[in-house]
Amino acid sequence: MSIVVTGATGHLGGHVIEQLLEKVPAERVTAVVRSREKAADLAARGVRVAIADYNAPETFDGLFSAGDKVLLISSSEVGRDRVAQHRAVLDAAGAAGVALLAYTSGPGSLTATLADDHRGTEEAILASGLPYVLLRNNFYHEVYTEQLAPVLEHGAVVQAAGEGRLATAARADYAAAAVAVLTGEGHENTTYELSGDTTWSFAEYAAELSRQTGRQIPYTPVPVEVYAGILTGVGMPEPVAAVFAGVDVAIEKGELAVTTGDLSRLTGRPTTPIADAIAAALQE
């Protein structure tokens, strides 16, 4: 039996693999990647490396075995048919009869277009009849802290989220929840709404960034159309910019402010505060 992680060299997948290796022998872990070169270090540590691509369903043929536990990390290719991409994994997992299919989904409260592919994938998973776990991840701290360069350059946090609040957590927190499910028992056919323990607003985010940098960095809320224009202005395709601008609308509505405690219960520790994520990003 192997624990199989797709997207294993991605941002979230890398955290999952590292935390898995703290709990299980490397030979029990399979990293599914598109590039063998990027996984060379994992192979050197004894991890089985499998080459497959969401856009080439045939590459998943025979990849899984009966009894495997699989973590399907959602495709990052926003704007493509991500449900079809995920079906490549789901169909192969179903044919093999895996013991568990865990999927990194989006918050159940999110109604923005970004959630459509997650809901479609969830429906396909439920229809498959496979034992499943839906890991409905709220946003990552890093979605914002990895974009500090333009914020610091222009001296302002610019979003279209009004006074909305978010219950984000660090990628490492969500990875720990996935590892708990993959290495534990009794999680079959369960949906977890995963979020940070506390919420924050962009005004508070700007204030914390100001405190840590010693600079006055305000939050400047803008209309959603203006924000979409900013995103296209830095090279984001217009349809993708519309998707992310729609997320800010959802934030203003409170759709990403839901806290359930599921994440800290699964990991056995409090979630990482946004202030810690800001500090880590400023040190890099």
3-138+171-194+259-271: CATH topology is Rossmann fold (3.40.50)
**Domain boundaries of the chain, sorted by first residue:** 3-138+171-194+259-271
Would the pTM of this model clear 0.85, i.e. be above it? yes
Return d(Cα 220, Cα 157) in angstroms, integer: 6
| Residue located via tokens 């203003």 | 252
Kindly state the tokens that stand for 39.
Answer: 């996984």
Residue 130 CA to chain centroid, in angstroms?
Answer: 22
Would you give per-residue pLDDT tens digits along the chain (284 residues)?
Answer: 899 999 999 999 999 999 999 999 999 999 999 999 999 999 999 999 999 999 999 999 999 999 999 999 999 887 678 999 999 999 999 999 999 999 999 999 999 888 999 999 999 999 999 999 999 999 999 999 999 999 999 999 999 999 999 999 999 999 999 999 999 999 999 999 999 999 999 999 999 999 999 999 999 999 999 999 999 998 989 988 998 899 999 999 999 999 999 999 999 999 999 999 999 999 98
Position 283: which residue type? Q
